Amino acid sequence: MKSYDKLLKEASGEQLKYITRRHFLLDCVTGLGAAAMGTFLAGCGNSAVSNIAQITDPMAPRIPHFPARAKSVIYLHMAGAPSQLELFDYKPELQKLHNQLCPQSFLEGKTFAFIRGVPKMLGPQAEFKQRGQSGAWVSDHLPHFASMADDVSFLKAVQTDQFNHGPAQLLMQTGSARLGRPSIGSWVTYGLGTENSNLPGFVVLTSGGKTPDAGKSVWGSGFLPSVYQGVQCRTQGDPVLYISDPEGVSRDVRKASIEAINEINKQEYESFGDPETLARISQYELAYKMQISVPDVMDINKEPAYIHELYGTQPGKESFANNCLLARKLVEKGVRFVQLYDWGWDSHGTDENLAIDYGFRNKCREIDRPIAALLQDLKQRGLLDETLVVWGGEFGRTPMQENRDGKDMPFLGRDHHVEAFTMWMAGAGIKKGYSYGETDEIGYSAIKGKVAINDIHATILQQLGFDHEKLTYQFQGRPFRLTDTSGKVITPILS
């Protein structure tokens, strides 16, 4: 009787499998597993990566839409937003207005993060000179970078619509001010794969003691398979957490365990067709390869003395200089996208470290020599011709002095500003010694050559060989792209 009851229960269970939601979701060939695979294939079909290799090996090298000028990107993001008025946007007229009350016309209908009432104007807290044959204006805050001014294109009239750090950083790094979109590096590795299967295609390095205000979402993969998210590496201790074998576990045992896990993952994929399972398999295999390749490439101790002198590096410490040197080493090894975040650029004047005439100067000293060294080092190795270097923050700073809650600040500072700020690009088909765009006489508004954030993205993809309107991924019923529904290539800065 007990055997009969058991058989009856099993039969009933089998019948329920074919009429219940659980069966539809997990087992049915027309269920969500197949739908997910169909979506993935559809996403590939709308881009340059329409081949089965992306399914079986999501990081395999792929061909872009047209011949690319750039093979890799190094993006230097100054989290907190540096002041363009103390670096690149020379405004002598603003100096004449120093300490005068701000004209009402600059305040009407405007929204600021902290300024209230009527603030005072704040003249440039730096000396400017024209540099090189191009005559680009660069302040004395960046004397080393000034020597490389003839190798870059300045974008003087960049605009954004986000004046708070988190949303502005998300917009700059993902094309959307809301969470959930893939980062630039994720789109690039999705489109191009990687040339070095022993290293991540997208590496993230941070300095300044903190991560960006928007958190690790700024290098996340969003709705793309997670294999395309950025891998954060450290310059202190193990470059990646848990990269070393546990005590008592040999490399052979580690390899056998990964093979066993991936065999289960393969069976899971064959049963349900979820592309994220393939991403998981790829990540396990990459993690095993990284145990040897990452510690080697992240070791700067082997670099010659003149390189350490050039960058101002300090092996074993977390620093922006170390990260710039690592960025060169990574692109040299075939990494597609290297993202450097340097925190601490929010110059409100609330204390000495955030003062535009003190803390800001110190931050400039930290980045000046390493950035110049990075450009020079890439150039002397022949890598600058195929590496796109991008520099900027998430927005700019106001020509007015911040007066939080209508009161004067204890130190000189500038509030967040969305209407005009400066970024620059170099290498990989970017014009040398060129300035595009212009602001008004006090640096408040863009009056010529306006550039939106999606235009920056479109230009980066263009140099990598992509039509930004065609690099898409099918999600929630429509094709998504990095530039969303706008964006145009900034052709004047292309050589």
Q: pLDDT tens across 343-360, in order?
A: 999 999 999 999 999 999
Q: pLDDT tens across 267-290, in order?
A: 777 777 776 776 666 666 666 555
Residue 89 pLDDT > 50: yes
The pLDDT score that the predictor gives to residue 57 is 79
The residue ranges of every structural domain in the chain are 70-239+295-493
The pLDDT score that the predictor gives to residue 49 is 44
The pLDDT score that the predictor gives to residue 196 is 83
The pLDDT score that the predictor gives to residue 38 is 40
Calculate what percentage of the chain has a pLDDT beyond 70.
Answer: 80
Confidence of residue 206 (pLDDT cuts 50, 70, 90): very high
Q: pLDDT tens across 424-479, in order?
A: 999 999 999 999 999 999 999 999 999 999 999 999 999 999 999 999 999 999 99
Confidence of residue 151 (pLDDT cuts 50, 70, 90): very high
Q: pLDDT tens across 96-108, in order?
A: 999 999 999 999 9
The pLDDT score that the predictor gives to residue 7 is 44
Instruction: Assign domain 70-239+295-493 one CATH number from 3.40.47.40, 3.40.720.10, 1.10.150.130, 3.90.1150.10.
Output: 3.40.720.10
Give the amino acid at 250.
Answer: S
Tell me which of 25-34, 128-137, 203-212 is least confident: 25-34
For the segment 26-38, the average pLDDT, to the nearest whole number, is 43
The pLDDT score that the predictor gives to residue 12 is 56
